[in-house]
Structure 1
Amino acid sequence: MLKSHMDAVEKYLVYKSKVLANAGHTLHKGTPRESFVKEFLVDHLGSDVSVGTGEIIDCDSQPSSSRNQYDIVIYRNDFPKLEFYGGINGFLIESVVATVEVKSLLNEAGILQSVKAAKNAKALSPSVKQGSRFGWVPPKVANYVVAYDGPAKMSTVYDWIVKAHTELAIPMPTFAHLNRIGVSGTALDGVFLLNKGFVKLDNSPLSLNDDNNPKPGTHVISDSDSGNLLMFFLALHEICNNLQAKLLDPVPYVQSADYKNITVV
């Protein structure tokens, strides 16, 4: 039932996106396609998280500094956020579960941009007081790409990822199959091309690698005209499906504030 539903939604998203093909400006094509994915997430993710758009900060972020704007930010509801108005927010890295970049046409330049943005998100430093936890908690924020069209083979996308890592001097993730769930990715965690396939970093309990006879490697590549939205949904559910006592530690955020004439009595 779940796969049948997700396959139907996957086809529906692609079908709706084709209505925009006649638009003359790329913004008029890209923005609605982002909203299609956002609506899907709002309709299908649990109530513990929300979906927004904007940039991500940590305790070291400076005003007016250059930062990535992420098409979609999935964040925990029990943390604060900054309101920049116009539908754009600033999210504390402590609250962010995942980011999603939406591409109308996936190409090499788009992968390069997404790898760089993902690396920047993972470089931010959460300031939290961590208590007990239950379930799998990803080591760092997860970063995904969802695209409506692109190359015929997902191996091409993987080659673009490797090339982007080389060009940006970002090491590719390395781990053995047995310790994969404790190792963070270094940039993108997955690229999902609707109706064509996906490339997914294999560092979570959700794996298509055979636990009894695992093949060496760090990524799973699939060429398939269905099941891609299902895998994306399950990957997101997996990183949201945990219980953890995590509180924002405000001290690092206060250290940069220049308070005058402090008296302790």
Structure 2
Amino acid sequence: MIKSHMDAREDALIAISKIPANSGHPLHKGTPREAFIKEFLEQHLPEHIAIGTGEIIDADSKPNVQRNQFDLILYKKNYPKLDFGGGIKAFLVESVIATIEIKSTLTEKDMKQSINAAKNAKSLTKNTSRSFSTGYIPPSILCFVIAYNGPSNMSTVYKWIPKIHNELNIKVDRLPLEEEKRIQTASKTIDAAFVLKKGFVYFDNLPIGFSNQTQRVKNPDLKWILSDTNNGNLLFFFLLLQQSTSNIEGEWLNALPYLRNFKVGKIQFGT
């Protein structure tokens, strides 16, 4: 039932994405396609997860410094955020679960931009306190790329990734073979890329996927899994998000680092 539903929604996303193709400006083509993905997520993700657009900050972020703007950011509703107006916000890194970059047609240039943005997001420092947790807690912000179109083979997309990592001087170490350690080893950049109706490629540190311990022992350098498939892509993406948002944790913001530059004048005391 779930797979049939998700495959139908994947077909529907491809169909409705053709509507803004008649527009004469690239922005007018891309923005509606972002809205289609956002609408899908809002209809299917748990109520405690919100979806926004904007940038991500940590306690060391400074005003007027250039930062990446993400098409979609999944964040926890019980954390504060800064509203810049026009639907654009700054989200505290402590609240962010995942980022999603949406592309009309995925190119190597797009992938390089997404990889660099993911690297920057994952370099931010979280300041939280935690009392307990259960379920899968991602080791860092998850960074996804969703494209309506792209290369005919996902091997092309896969080959872009190490090439771009080399260009950006990003070193990806061998993943631990032990399952528990592997899923707690964060990807340095993107976690997965999906081209609707064509396939996916993902970093093999996720709690669900298509590899197993036997394959990893035979190939200890295994880092990426890819597939050319015209269905199941939206389902797999949804399952990864569901797995990452269905945990339970007693965690809250430590706001003091955000206030390190907050100073007042002479302090007076009364009785």
TM-score by length of 2: 0.95
Q: Does 1:88 align with 2:88?
A: yes
Corresponding residue for residue 40 of structure 1? 40
1:30 alignment partner AA: G
User: Aligned to 1:201, which of 190, 200, 203?
Assistant: 203
Equivalent position SS for 2:116: helix
Deviation at 1:176, TM superposition (A): 2.9
Equivalent position SS for 2:51: strand
What is the CA deviation profile of residues 69-94 of structure 1, one whole-angstrom value per residue up to 9, with x for unaligned ones?
00000000111111111011110000
Corresponding residue for residue 20 of structure 2? 20
What is the CA deviation profile of residues 124-163 of structure 1, one whole-angstrom value per residue up to 9, with x for unaligned ones?
0011012200011011100000000000111111111111
Corresponding residue for residue 245 of structure 1? 250
User: Aligned to 1:190, which of 173, 181, 192?
Assistant: 192
Equivalent position SS for 2:17: helix
Please list every run of 5 or more consecutive structure 1 residues that lacks an aligned counterpart in the other structure. none
Q: Does 1:259 align with 2:261?
A: no
1:180 alignment partner AA: R
CA distance, structure 2, for counterparts of residue 207 and residue 92 of structure 1: 29
Q: Is the 8 A contact 1:68 1:117 kept in 2?
A: yes
% same residue: 46
What is the CA deviation profile of residues 33-88 of structure 1, one whole-angstrom value per residue up to 9, with x for unaligned ones?
00000001111000111000000000000011100000000000111111111011
Corresponding residue for residue 158 of structure 1? 158
Map 1:113-132 onto structure 2 (within 5 A): 113-132=113-132
Q: Does 1:221 align with 2:226?
A: yes
Instruction: Return closer, same or farther for 1:262/1:161 CA change in 2, 3 Å cut-off.
Output: farther
TM-score by length of 1: 0.97
Deviation at 1:181, TM superposition (A): 0.7
Deviation at 1:263, TM superposition (A): 4.3
Q: Is the 8 A contact 1:59 1:252 kept in 2?
A: yes
Equivalent position SS for 1:182: coil
Deviation at 1:172, TM superposition (A): 2.2
Equivalent position SS for 1:245: strand
Map 1:229-240 onto structure 2 (within 5 A): 229-240=234-245
Deviation at 1:21, TM superposition (A): 1.9
Instruction: Return closer, same or farther for 1:256/1:227 CA change in 2, 3 Å cut-off.
Output: same
- List structure 1 segments (4+ residues) > 6 angstroms apart after TM superposition: none
Aligned residue pair count:
265
